[in-house]
Structure 1
Amino acid sequence: MTNQFNPERHSVAARVLAALLSYPDASLRALLPELETALQRDTVLPAERRDAVLLLIADLRQSEPLEAEARYVDTFDRGRRTSLHLFEHVHGDSRDRGPAMIDLQQTYAQEGLLLEAGELPDYLPVVLEFASTQPYEVAREFLAEMAHLLQSIHAALARLHSPYAAVVAAALDLASEPVQPPETVPEAPAEGPLDEQWAEPLVFDGCSAAGQSAAPQVQPIQIVRRDAASPRRSKDAIV
């Protein structure tokens, strides 16, 4: 995403969380020391949450690259319960997902933010990047609109004892939403085998309904818009 760095306090935390939820390739691993330093200086997140996220950074720094990458794929790409594409939790493969994606992308564009090739607007790291460019109250309300989805993803990650659960919990902190204990969040229905979840629908047979489990008490996401477009910032700067 191409946009403007926002110097408000929440901005650095949001950008660190966005980076940590991205695929841990060589470029991200090279940034880990900078992310660690930025997070250690953070005063927005609760100390306990910050320490939990720092544990993930330490784990990524110590892990073998192939091990870290395989764990990421196993965590986020093997089913919808932990998917970082938020609209999958709401719309699944239904045709309603397309208009929702277009609306969110237009929201970004109206703020002067452009997605890079291959980026989807509902990808949680992109959502957090966008929040980092907005004034605090706008960012907080924007994230709060999707808190029910974050709660569901966090609970699924916590049930897997994944260290990534701390990052999603920190995103809820930025939304000023209390993190619900996993046992209080209804678990999504069991998903079928991976091949069935991602199977293409039959021709003229409508959209596939496999794996279209929704988060509990799903609410529509109401995007907070601003009148003036934000200037752009460098993509690589964290602090």
Structure 2
Amino acid sequence: MLILKVLSRLLDYPSQDLFTAKVDLLTVVEQSVDISPQTKQQLTDFISNLVSKDIYDAQERYDLLFDRGRSLSLLLFEHVHGESRDRGQAMVNLLDVYRTNGFEIHSSQLPDYIPLYLEFLSEQPKEFAQEWLGDICHIMTMLSERLIERECDYCILFDALIEFSGFAVDRLEIAKAISKEERDDTVEMIDKAWEDKEIRFDEPVADQCPSSKPAIDLASIDITPSQDVPIKWHNAGGSQPSELTQNTRMSGL
């Protein structure tokens, strides 16, 4: 499913290769049968606007959106687990599913990075991909609504994924909740997030020191799949990767 591969690339850090692949990107969007004509037009406009920018401006905008504050993080489990140890186990489970389905990661990104997750789904059967996107539909809706609040056209990428999934959540309820949030990408909020906590001698030291939060060490965690993860993992052991191979992938992607 090349449309998922295109959306994966568009949600990744803007690169010269992405800009060079403009024609291929637009061709896949136009030929896709999995999204509506309206969504095709919105994606076409997004791609055209993105590649018309100076690449450094595009990269700076991306950094300010997705790497400043946690509310627009592209790491799925950050929205579910934060920095808790449960996040590490969930990622190990996800890695296990990737490998079970013949998907090996050759990337410095964590396995719950959304563009990487989409890359995996692009090589699975359509029904599988739709169900797994449905599992994170609430997160994608939340991200889309936060981008809409910022009047940012990156929201169309998440809306296209939601449409592809065929799932729906109570968008009005999520939008209402998002409207009450305080943005976390301002200088004041970033400073607040990093400011030292008051030291109290009647509390355990581990609860006071930000650096004591458990690091995510995949190698040290039991790889036995957990039965209690917020994004459910389907029994995908019998699924086979789709026929989309390196030879059939479009150039530039």
TM bin (shorter chain): 0.7 to 0.9
Distance (whole Å) between structure 2 residues aligned to residue 195 and residue 182 of structure 1? 30
Of 207, 210, 215, the residue aligned with 2:213 is 207
Residue number in structure 1 paired with 2:25: 35
Q: Counterparts of 1:149-164 in structure 2 under 5 Å?
A: 149-164=139-154
Q: Counterparts of 1:59-208 in structure 2 under 5 Å?
A: 59-178=49-168, 180-181=171-172, 184-187=175-178, 189-190=181-182, 191=184, 193-197=189-193, 204-205=206-207, 206-207=212-213
Of 29, 34, 37, the residue aligned with 1:44 is 34
Contact 2:141 2:174 in 1 (8 A): no
Please, what TM-score do these two structures have when normalized by structure 2? 0.77
Q: Give the letter for the 2:233 counterpart.
A: I
Greater displacement, 111-120 / 182-191: 182-191
Deviation at 1:200, TM superposition (A): 10
Residues matched between the structures, number: 219
Q: Give the match's secondary structure for 1:15.
A: helix
Greater displacement, 36-45 / 163-172: 36-45
Contact 1:151 1:185 in 2 (8 A): no
Please give the root-mean-square deviation of Cα atoms over the aligned residues, in Å.
2.8
Distance (whole Å) between structure 1 residues aligned to residue 173 and residue 240 of structure 2? 38
Contact 1:24 1:72 in 2 (8 A): yes
Could you report, residue by residue, the CA deviation over 1:3-59 in whole angstroms, capped at 9, with x for unpaired residues? xxxxxxxx1111111111011111221112210111111121011111111111001
Contact 2:74 2:114 in 1 (8 A): yes
Contact 1:154 1:168 in 2 (8 A): yes
Contact 1:36 1:57 in 2 (8 A): yes
1:227 corresponds to 2:238: yes
- Larger-gyration structure (1/2): 2
Q: Give the match's secondary structure for 1:186.
A: helix
Q: Give the letter for the 1:120 counterpart.
A: L
Q: Give the letter for the 1:152 counterpart.
A: M
Contact 1:155 1:185 in 2 (8 A): no
Q: 1:230 to 1:236 in 2, by over 3 A?
A: closer
- Identity, in percent, stands at 29
Distance (whole Å) between structure 2 residues aligned to residue 199 and residue 235 of structure 1? 51
Q: Give the letter for the 1:110 counterpart.
A: T
Deviation at 1:196, TM superposition (A): 5.0
Contact 1:155 1:182 in 2 (8 A): no
Q: Give the letter for the 2:33 counterpart.
A: T
Deviation at 1:229, TM superposition (A): 4.4
Could you report, residue by residue, the CA deviation over 1:154-198 in whole angstroms, capped at 9, with x for unpaired residues? 111111111110001011111112473587351274337335546
Distance (whole Å) between structure 2 residues aligned to residue 235 and residue 158 of structure 1? 38
Distance (whole Å) between structure 2 residues aligned to residue 28 and residue 197 of structure 1? 33
Contact 2:125 2:241 in 1 (8 A): no
Could you report, residue by residue, the CA deviation over 1:115-148 in whole angstroms, capped at 9, with x for unpaired residues? 1130211111111111111111111111111111
Contact 1:152 1:185 in 2 (8 A): no
Distance (whole Å) between structure 1 residues aligned to residue 60 and residue 247 of structure 2? 26
Distance (whole Å) between structure 1 residues aligned to residue 102 and residue 21 of structure 2? 26
Distance (whole Å) between structure 2 residues aligned to residue 100 and residue 185 of structure 1? 29
Q: Greater share of helix residues, 1 or 2? A: 2
Q: Give the letter for the 1:226 counterpart.
A: G
Deviation at 1:81, TM superposition (A): 1.3
Q: 1:233 to 1:196 in 2, by over 3 A?
A: farther
